[in-house]
C-alpha cells in the first residue's frame, strides 16, 4: 500500500513568494500544529471592511441600550435593529438566515440564545435579556451581543450577568498571536465555576468576517486540547454562554431555534468580534 502524503492546509497561491507569516505558519504545520487555512487570515482591506461593519453593529446595540425598558416587546427591539441597520446602508445578518424570521436574537432569562422577537413577548422588571446583533456592510460581517438588566433584578442574576462579562474579558485576554484557540476556554471555565456557574458546551464562538459563520469554532470550556493556532489576521467571536444551573440545553421544538437551559434557570451571554494582531488582540465591536 502506497504512503499518502499529508495535504497541507496552508497553501501559498501560485506565483506568489512566501511571506514571513507564510514561512512561520508552514513551519508550525510541519511541527504538527493545527493551522488555519490561509483564507481565514484576513487582508488589511478585509479587516478594514469588518471594522466598518462593527461600527454599525455597535451603533445598533447603543441604540437598543438607550431604548430598552420594562413593558417593551421584543418585536420593538427587532424594529429598532432593522431600521437602524438599513438606514446605515447595512443588512441585519440574522434576517432569513437559514429561515430565521427576524433581524436580531432576543433571549430572556432561561433562554440561552436564538430567541425570536415577538409582538406578544414583553420585558418585565427583573428580567435579564441578551440582545445579539449581527451586521453585513458591503459584504463584511460583524457580530456582538450585550446583556441588559431590566430595572432591578435579584443579586444572583446580577452576579450571573457580571461574571459572564468577566468571562468574555478573560477569554479575550487569553488570545495571543501564535497561541491556541483552546487557551480561550481554558481561561473562561475556571472563572465561571468559581462563582458556581456552568459553561454551555453545545454552542460556541466562531470565525466571522467574510461569512456569518466561519472556522475556527471557539469553545468556551476547557477542551483539554490546544486547538487551532492563532495567527495574526484571524477574526472570530468569543461569546461565552454561562448558566446559573446545569450546562445542558435544549432547542424549543415549536420554533426550532430558541435554546433554553435544561433546568430552566437563567443564562447570560456577552459577545464581541476580535482580531488577532501581531502583538495581541483588537476588539472590532463594542
* Residue-wise pLDDT tens digits, 196-250: 999 999 999 999 999 999 999 999 999 999 999 999 999 999 999 999 999 999 9
Q: Which of 280, 286, 282, 230 is nearest to 47 (CA)?
A: 282
Question: Per residue in 122-155, pLDDT tens?
Answer: 999 999 999 999 999 999 999 999 999 999 999 9
Contacts of 207 (CB under 8 A, 6+ apart): 40, 213, 214, 215, 216, 234, 235, 236
Q: Which residue has the higher pLDDT, 3 or 196?
A: 196
Q: Which domains does the chain have, with CATH numbers?
A: 33-283 (3.90.230.10)
pLDDT of 6 over the 80 cut: no
pTM of the complete model: 0.95
Average pLDDT over residues 39-51: 98
Average pLDDT over residues 154-161: 98
Average pLDDT over residues 91-107: 98
pLDDT of 5 over the 50 cut: no
pLDDT at 4: 38
150-163: burial string, b at 16+ Cβ within 10 Å, e else: beebeeebebbbeb
pLDDT band at 158 (very low <50, low <70, confident <90, very high): very high
Amino acid at each position: 500500500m502506497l504512503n499518502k502524503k499529508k495535504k497541507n492546509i496552508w497553501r501559498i497561491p501560485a506565483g506568489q513568494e512566501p511571506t514571513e507569516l507564510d514561512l512561520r505558519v508552514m513551519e508550525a504545520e510541519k511541527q504538527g500544529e493545527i493551522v488555519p487555512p490561509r483564507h481565514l487570515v484576513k487582508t488589511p482591506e478585509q479587516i478594514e471592511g469588518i471594522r466598518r461593519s462593527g461600527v454599525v453593529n455597535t451603533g445598533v446595540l447603543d441604540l437598543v441600550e438607550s431604548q430598552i425598558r420594562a413593558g417593551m416587546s421584543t418585536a420593538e427591539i427587532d424594529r429598532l435593529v432593522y431600521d437602524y441597520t438599513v438606514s446605515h446602508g447595512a443588512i441585519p445578518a440574522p434576517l432569513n438566515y437559514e429561515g430565521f424570521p427576524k433581524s436580531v436574537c432576543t433571549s430572556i432569562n432561561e433562554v440561552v440564545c436564538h430567541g425570536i422577537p415577538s409582538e406578544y413577548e414583553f420585558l418585565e422588571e427583573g428580567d435579564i435579556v441578551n440582545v445579539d446583533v449581527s451586521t453585513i456592510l458591503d459584504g463584511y460581517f460583524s457580530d456582538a451581543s450585550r446583556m441588559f438588566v431590566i430595572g432591578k433584578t435579584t443579586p444572583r442574576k446580577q452576579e450571573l450577568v457580571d461574571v459572564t462579562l468577566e468571562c468574555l474579558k478573560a477569554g479575550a485576554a487569553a488570545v495571543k498571536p501564535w497561541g491556541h484557540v483552546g487557551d480561550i476556554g481554558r481561561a473562561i471555565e475556571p472563572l465561571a465555576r468559581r462563582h458556581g456557574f456552568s459553561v454551555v458546551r453545545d454552542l460556541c464562538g466562531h470565525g466571522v468576517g467574510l461569512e456569518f459563520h466561519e472556522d475556527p469554532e471557539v469553545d468556551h470550556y476547557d477542551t483539554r486540547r490546544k486547538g487551532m493556532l492563532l495567527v495574526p489576521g484571524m477574526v472570530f467571536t468569543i461569546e461565552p454562554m454561562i448558566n446559573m444551573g446545569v450546562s445542558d440545553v435544549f432547542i424549543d421544538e415549536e420554533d426550532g431555534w430558541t435554546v433554553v437551559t435544561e433546568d430552566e434557570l437563567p443564562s447570560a451571554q456577552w459577545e464581541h468580534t476580535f482580531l488577532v494582531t501581531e502583538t495581541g488582540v483588537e476588539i472590532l465591536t463594542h
